């Protein structure tokens, strides 16, 4: 099917890529915060830039990759795609104990976070990319089992980006998930080799 048809029909593919990183990737949390806060998410170029900068930040941190998960589905209407996208977003955001940075419509709000002294040992950060594209087929079909699989998935930037949301947990650079917290919130992540 030619690209003209992909751009004009109502078929949308929703892809969710999750990457767990070791907590030593704290600089990545700060970098993602900077990227998200300065992004103009109300324009296509702004969304493309946010996605590209997110992917580059992750590609520059392969030594911290520990687990990953890739899911995707193609739906036949934009209205249904919007529902799927919002459901994924709400599901992922409900896993957060707090959101320290939110950028909606260019309005950035921040909250400070002070870690508890008796918190479990820091272990992981999970980055979630939810991407909606005008592609008529899934962007990626192979599960992620290795660092090279993840690298290939990250390098497969969509051509027909419609919507994108970047989430990471926890957001504050002073916070991370314990191993048990990661397993409870993200039980489907697969350890990568």
> For the ranges 77-91, 118-132, 148-162, 177-191, which has the lowest average pLDDT?
118-132
Mean pLDDT on 98-111: 50
More confident residue, 176 or 111: 176
d(CA 129, CA 174): 22
pLDDT over 70 at 115, yes or no: no
* Domain extent listing, the chain: 3-191
Mean pLDDT of the chain: 83
Sequence-separated (6 or more) residues with CB below 8 Å from residue 167 = 89, 92, 93, 96, 127, 128, 130
- State the pLDDT at residue 88: 93
- State the pLDDT at residue 178: 87
- State the pLDDT at residue 43: 87
Beta strands in 24-95 (DSSP E): 65-75
Based on its alpha-carbon atoms, the radius of gyration of the chain, rounded to whole angstroms, reads 16
Mean pLDDT on 15-22: 94
- State the pLDDT at residue 126: 93
107, with CB counted inside 10 A (0-12, 13-18, 19+), is exposed
pLDDT over 80 at 111, yes or no: no
């Amino acid at each position: 099917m030619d690209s003209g048809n992909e751009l004009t029909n109502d078929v949308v593919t929703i892809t969710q890529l999750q990457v767990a990183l070791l907590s030593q990737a704290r600089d990545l949390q700060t970098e993602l915060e900077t990227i998200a806060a300065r992004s103009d998410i109300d324009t296509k170029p702004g969304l493309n830039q946010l996605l590209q900068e997110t992917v580059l930040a992750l590609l520059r941190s392969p030594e911290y990759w520990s687990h990953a998960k890739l899911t995707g589905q193609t739906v036949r209407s934009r209205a249904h795609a919007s529902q799927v996208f919002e459901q994924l977003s709400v599901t992922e955001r409900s896993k957060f104990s707090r959101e320290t940075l939110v950028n909606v419509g260019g309005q950035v709000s921040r909250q400070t976070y002070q870690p508890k002294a008796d918190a479990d040992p820091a272990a992981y950060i999970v980055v979630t990319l939810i991407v909606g594209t005008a592609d008529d087929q899934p962007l990626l079909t192979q599960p992620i089992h290795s660092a090279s699989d993840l690298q290939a998935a990250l390098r497969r930037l969509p051509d027909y980006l419609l919507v994108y949301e970047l989430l990471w947990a926890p957001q504050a650079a002073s916070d991370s998930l314990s191993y048990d917290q990661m397993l409870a919130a993200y039980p489907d992540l697969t350890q990568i080799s």
